[in-house]
Structure 1
């Protein structure tokens, strides 16, 4: 058995920005927020928790060489991109875009009265270039209760969407009092857990809304206990 080490990133310790139409919290250095002690974790580079006002959003802009994921916590987000995709993703949906050699996209809150709250996550790809890709995961009905649902992986196993990195991304959903196990993995022995809603305990530590935990040297299974009805993302990374 390996002995994992961990570091908790509390929600209130994250960086922040308020642009009026956008209120953001930054787990890692991003844009004008810089903290040399929080530049990312393994291949995980961005973990932004954004709230976009009605009618606000990001106009068409370009990315390359990044795996980009957006999880909608509450509200709706209208997406368009240079690949010809156009859709509105809703609370509980998770969007994936592999920027590859280059893609342009826009993201707007289409509501006239309700904000949209989301997480945007960036992961470095294993190699540069390639054709851009896009997909969505509607989790409202697909996510298993009191379990982890594998959404994305480097090999596309178990019905997951294949991504350009040796990583596994799970969505977790737990009732109060439920126990869940993060599966063992020798190939991805490092874990980031981001709590979206509720309360979880791991290593005897309590995590609350917006908290994240970085776990290194953890190839073995990890046990979680929900202190309240919870939703969270788990990233297994190399």
Structure 2
């Protein structure tokens, strides 16, 4: 039987450092909520706005799959693997941090903020050789349908990570209905609303709301307004 975990936008952790305005769906940094530690393999889901010209200085990560999705503006990435890149709206960046990566992230523009999602998943393989990947999506493929952006398969659509997880994004007209089939038995699905509103398995969700769903093979989704956009994360629930 399906079970839902609702996270309304206003219940997220919040930290405003002036240069960084961040909302945390799960416990992170100074935000700690024992009931909000993770959703299966999904450990961190941060909704960040960074002021012009500011950013995160060089810092380390290891044994985590990190996915960055810019929503507005341009984010400059540098790492000790030799990558210097700009990621923009319509891009998806992945780092498999494995044995260890040092990187920095800065707003590439001084005159406007950058908004992006930073998402961490526990990997299914530890101490891999660190890797970096970045793709640019054809946004037409997200119109009134789901576009796969992350999977476990290097030969599949989008980019890939060391985890049995699939991410999809879609931008919908009002009253468009789709059914999302869960990709792997035992996986749960976390739905996050980027814009507008939807009903998801009978639950009404608005901008920046999240809903974790377990115990079902299919999820019904209906957009409630034009321009409604969502992100679907299909992840192992872990034992």
Which residues of structure 1 form unaligned runs of 5+? Answer: none
Match of 1:124 among 107, 116, 122: 122
* Structure-2 residue corresponding to 1:92: 90
Please say if 1:48 is aligned against 2:46. yes
- Quick one: distance in 2 between partners of 1:87 and 1:134? 10
Deviations 1:80-105 (A, max 9, x none): 11111111111222211110110111
Match of 1:7 among 5, 8, 16: 5
- Quick one: distance in 2 between partners of 1:157 and 1:225? 30
Shift of 1:133: 1.1
Shift of 1:186: 3.8
- Quick one: distance in 1 between partners of 2:88 and 2:121? 22
* Structure-1 residue corresponding to 2:219: 222
* Structure-2 residue corresponding to 1:207: 205
Shift of 1:123: 0.2
Conserved in 2, the CA contact under 8 Å of 1:166 and 1:188? no
Please say if 1:58 is aligned against 2:56. yes
Which residues of structure 2 form unaligned runs of 5+? Answer: none
Conserved in 1, the CA contact under 8 Å of 2:182 and 2:188? no
Conserved in 1, the CA contact under 8 Å of 2:191 and 2:230? yes
TM-score, structure 2 length as denominator? 0.93
Conserved in 1, the CA contact under 8 Å of 2:78 and 2:105? yes
Provide the alpha-carbon RMSD of the alignment: 1.4
Moved beyond 4 Å, runs of 4+: none
- Quick one: distance in 1 between partners of 2:6 and 2:135? 28
Q: Which moved more, 1:74-83 or 1:135-144?
A: 135-144
* Structure-1 residue corresponding to 2:148: 150
